[in-house]
Chain A
Amino acid sequence: MTPTDIRAGFIADLTAVAPDLDPGSIGDTDHLQDDLGLDSMDFLNLVSALHKRFGLPIPEADYPQLATPEKSVAYLASQLAT
């Protein structure tokens, strides 16, 4: 899976959680909570969707690595590679 595929999957799950976000205008360095306004329930729903899509455990301890779309894609890629 290429980073482009991973990003597409991530953005699809993110916009499902926050349907008012425009996929085209989400910046790679936007902070999910501070900039995109996700609350703890939204974030948990996003992690659940990513878990389902990529089959990764995504433990709570790794949550800080999902702070932005850019960091999330890097994290998912590294987890998928191991």
Chain B
Amino acid sequence: MSIFAMPSLGADMEEGKLIEWLVKPGDRVSKGDIVAVVETQKGAIEIEIFEAGEIGALLAEPGQTLPVGAPLARLGAAAEAKAAPAPTPAAPKPAPEPEVAAKPPAAPVAPVPPATAQGGVLASPAARTLAAERGIALETVAGSGPGGAILLADVESQAQPAPRPEAERPKGKPGLDMAEMRRAIAAAMSRAKREIPHYYLSHEIDLQSAQDRLTALNANRTPDQRLLMGAVLIRATVRALAKVPELNGRLEADPYAPSEAVHCGLAVAMRGGGLIAPAILDAQGMDLDLIMSAMRDLVARTRTGRLRNSEITQGTITVSSLGETGVDALFGVIYPPQVALVGFGAPRLRPMVHDGSVQPRLAVTATLAADHRVSDGRRGALFLAEIDRLLQEPETP
């Protein structure tokens, strides 16, 4: 038996709101399965479980806000595993069970009813639970989910008569509170500037050959198969880390050990403001096409869907790219506990010396913000030079 607890999804997270269970007692789960959805400052996040076993009792109800470390479910050992002593939950303070169930559910925690049950009204399990709690008939609630399904938010707005009119709500990803996100960014960036002795390097890279190769490659592809320069830059960054591996990792223990895997964070701007930097996991083994499809998927889910907790908690380096429109260079703030952030300005035609004469060439300014506790400027310089070298290779478009 072990306990599945409310995970920490960032140094600044103190509590999370359980939105939905995706498993019920008796379900077998394996490592990496998504078992619940939790609402955080970064929006709704899918929570993976990092242990295999069988779900025992669910100890928390959808709609409850719980501190990090609070037990969410009991996890029984898989049948074939031997009965090992129960591991201690990683809770900061052991929360005794009765306290957690401070507001016991009316009925013993039962398997969540299927979304389509009961009188033909479509509603999520979380919405049903809250509606039942507050005595609201689901038939009277207007659903905003797929196919008119009633979501938790719909019941909430019914229960607390319009605290904020629709028009006043900040635009952006549904379920994302912009003020909360700003607070999360403020906490992480304040910590970075307080704790990390940043040093900065900048290097102008001739991008013309890479652009020419990319154009030739994309000419034979339909739009859905085309590659963006952003993917080329990420691929070069990931490959260059093989030469200066100490820039890839998380400074969480002494002595610092770089990470073998490259979980490359991608700073994704949210339409409407703010940003999230989820990671492409295990990017070291990906070719350009895989990086591109991972980017597409990650950007889409960051803006309109759901990210998984591993994607927002395991990054080992972050790339921030200004894209096609913007200024020449950005000097980033490292996302703690990572130790480096690579910035790419907007590629722009600039006069450059090429083959002995001044020519208009597409150029990009690559910058490195790195943690001086784990690397020095000389190694950082080697890293930017390696990115440059890789971008000139015919092998990388």
Q: Which of A4-12, A34-42, A74-82 forms contacts with chain B?
A: A34-42
> Quick check: A33 and B324 within 8 Å, CB to CB?
yes
Which of B219, B223, B304, B324 lies at the interface centre, i.e. has the most chain A CB atoms within 10 A of its CB? Answer: B223
A19 lies within 8 A of B304 (CB): yes
Q: Are the CB atoms of A51 and B325 closer together than 8 Å? A: no
Tell me the complex Cα distance, A51–B323, Å: 23
The smallest beta-carbon distance between A59 and chain B, in angstroms, is: 7
Size range of the chain B interface in the assembly: 20 to 34
Contact A48/B224 with A20-B172, A37-B271 known, Cβ cut-off 8 Å = yes
A20-B271, A60-B215 as given contacts; A40 in contact with B223, CB under 8 Å:
no
**CB closest residue in chain A, given B296:** A41
Q: How long is the Cα–Cα vector from A34 to B296 in the complex, in angstroms?
A: 21
B349 to chain A, nearest CB (A): 15
Bound CA–CA A59/B171 (angstroms): 32
Q: Which of B297-335 contact A (CB under 8 A)?
A: 299-300, 304, 323-325
Chain B residues within 8 Å of A, Cβ to Cβ: 171-172, 215, 218-219, 222-224, 226, 228-230, 269, 271-272, 295-296, 299-300, 304, 323-325
Can you sample 23 A-B contacts with CB below 8 Å?
Answer: A20-B171, A20-B271, A33-B325, A34-B325, A39-B323, A39-B324, A39-B325, A40-B229, A40-B323, A40-B324, A41-B230, A41-B295, A45-B300, A47-B223, A48-B222, A50-B223, A51-B223, A52-B224, A57-B222, A58-B223, A59-B219, A60-B218, A60-B219
Residue ranges of A at the interface with B (Cβ–Cβ < 8 Å): 18-20, 33-34, 37, 39-41, 44-45, 47-48, 50-52, 57-60
